[in-house]
Amino acid sequence: MSDTLKGVVINLNAYGATVRLDGGDLATASASDVAQHRDQYQRSLLRRKHVAFEVRRDGRRCSVSLAPQIRDDDLEEQIASYLKSTQGWEPAEAMPAAERHFLQKKRRAAYFAGKQHP
């Protein structure tokens, strides 16, 4: 059986790592998984950063491996440049679109709140 839980690395050694899962259980990570994702394991250890782990329970023992982390720096850079390029699309003298949208939703909610349903 395999679950995905968050946890914090509490020890790194030559044989792998020890992880304290959010439920309080201790689990071990194999040396091969630690070697493959050493930066993330060290970041979790030093900063007490919670990381997602795939948990396998074999009897009383828990073993973990780092869950896939989806991160694409190129995509994030493209999104940031697109958002910067669209900043000039909105007229400077007009109310920002997000505020206009919020006010329209607020007026619509007030309208329906004022109506009594039979």
17 exposure class (CB count in 10 Å sphere: 0-12, 13-18, 19+): buried
* pLDDT for 1: 53
What is the pTM assigned to this prediction?
0.57
- The domain total for the chain is 2
If asked whether residues 8 and 53 sit together in one domain, one would say yes
Give 71-101 pLDDT, tens digit per residue.
777 888 898 898 888 877 777 777 777 788 8
Cβ(23)–Cβ(7) under 8 Å?
Answer: no
If asked whether residues 47 and 78 sit together in one domain, one would say no
How far is it, in rounded angstroms, from Cα 22 to Cα 4? 11
How far is it, in rounded angstroms, from Cα 2 to Cα 90? 48
- Domain extent, residue 58, equals 2-66
Angstrom distances, CA of residue 6 to CA of 22, 49, 58, 76: 6, 10, 18, 24
